[in-house]
Amino acid sequence: MRFVGTFSFAFCLVHLVYAGSPHRSHKWWRNGWLNIQNTIAERNLTNNDWPNETNDWPPYPPFNCSKLSPQPNEPISVHALSPSDIDVVAAMGDSLTAANGAGATTIAGVLVNYRQMSFSIGGIEDVNSFITLANIIRYYNPNVYGYATGVGVADSYNAKLDVAVAGSVASDLPDQAVDLVNKLRTSKRVNFLEDWKLITVLIGGNDLCRVCKKPEKFSTDNYLRFIRETLDILHKEVPKAIVNVVQIFEITELSQLRGAVCDVVHYFICKCPTLTSPDVMAEVDAVNKNYQQGLTDLIASGRYDTRDDFTVVLQPFTEDTQLPLLPSGLPDKGYFAPDCFHFSSTGHQAAAVGLWNNMLEPVGVKKRQWVIGEPIECPNPSFPYFYTNRNSPVGYSQSMMSYVYLHNILVYTMMGLTICVLTITVVVVSKVVLRQKRNAMKSDQINDLHSKDITGFKNPIYNYSKFY
């Protein structure tokens, strides 16, 4: 009987979170849905069967990185962008970025989008109280805008520039890109043309959850097509931006999270990689790897490195990630919400550390595994920039002069040469014009002499008429 009750509740939960799509429904439904989320979040009903993490966040060490010295001039290249240069943060994706269940201690709490705890865009408290990428950026630039400030759906006030929608798949991402561009253009807090923007994208989990049911719809080709369309929109429409694409994780790892509630939720929302035969799970795993390789190839192609004010960087810290384990060898459920699918507050903070560290690692040597408890890296004072495809040359070492420094030297050298050439040109042209004026004056004087009547001229010394 208890299992039947759990099954029924989980079915309703899944329907509300994934099938209801309140972001696409009428305004009254969206407002009602937001009220439900707020009520659940405020009461936060506890359950002794699940770790209570909402008020017991992990004891991460204080964020002790030194503040960066301000650059003397506004950055002219996305490849010379430091954390303190970021003016705007934004995020796109599904329920992981919407942070469903991040503050939950019961299955009901998974209904809530705890966006303020989202690993990439959450702005709860500060970085020493709760680690998110946005909070780290706030540490370097307190005036940054766009981080989520509370619970709510994608178009709520609290969401700010977190446009992620629970239940989204890759085909929904282009619409999110359009929505984000519109918000960036119309927000009074954003200088669309001048502000440097950091946009983080994570999508694909829901595609893999359904790929065994609709293999054509969720094929690798379709997944990459929608990712490419999304990035093309951002590349075309958004100036001065660096886009993080977080690699899709190994979703079959979720099959290790078992239990009555876990199994029911997985059955309805993510059956393919968790509750199917070994052969089907192997097929899902193969598609998973194809997604990963396709993303890697797309971003490494140079398609989005055609301008100095825009780039896309793959952050692969989730690529080979395995579930964190307890000393007993069992999965540590403390990193997951009560539905055994979404991240808990602990999971979001661990993901934020992994993402931040990846951004400070050169392309080609970025960590591909989420290491629980890994230390938080700090920007190198001699190279405080986020690494990109163009400032991370093969064989890069901290001791060698970086691409960015070479780029800046080249730019300023060319500026100096241009000024020098212009100066010489002005001087030469001025001399030529002056010479032409002098020649013209001499010519006019000669013409004046030739035009005078000299037939009556008599030399005062010699008068030849007396000889005749």
Among residues 342, 345, 392, 402, the one annotated as catalytic is 342
- Residue 314 token pair: 């793959």
DSSP-assigned states of every residue in 326-368: -TTSSB-GGGB-TTSSSB-HHHHHHHHHHHHHHHTS-TTS---
Sign of CA dihedral 442, 447, 453, 459: positive
In whole angstroms, give the CA distance from residue 73 to residue 81: 12
Burial of 13 (0-12, 13-18, 19+ CB in 10 A): buried
Among residues 77, 95, 120, 402, the one annotated as catalytic is 95
Say if CB 87 and CB 75 are below 8 A apart: no
Among residues 162, 195, 207, 305, the one annotated as catalytic is 207
Active site residue 399: no
Say if CB 133 and CB 119 are below 8 A apart: yes
Write down the residue that tokens 């969401």 correspond to.
159
**Closest Cα partner for 281 from 256, 298, 299, 317?**
256
In whole angstroms, give the CA distance from residue 247 to residue 261: 28
Active site residue 129: no
In whole angstroms, give the CA distance from residue 39 to residue 302: 47
As a whole number of Å, the CA-based R_g of the chain is 33
Active site residue 95: yes
Burial of 408 (0-12, 13-18, 19+ CB in 10 A): middle
Q: What CA–CA distances, in Å, run from 322 to 257, 329, 337, 370, 399? A: 12, 12, 17, 7, 34
Report CA 70 to chain centroid distance, whole Å: 22
Residues acting as catalytic residues = 95, 207, 342
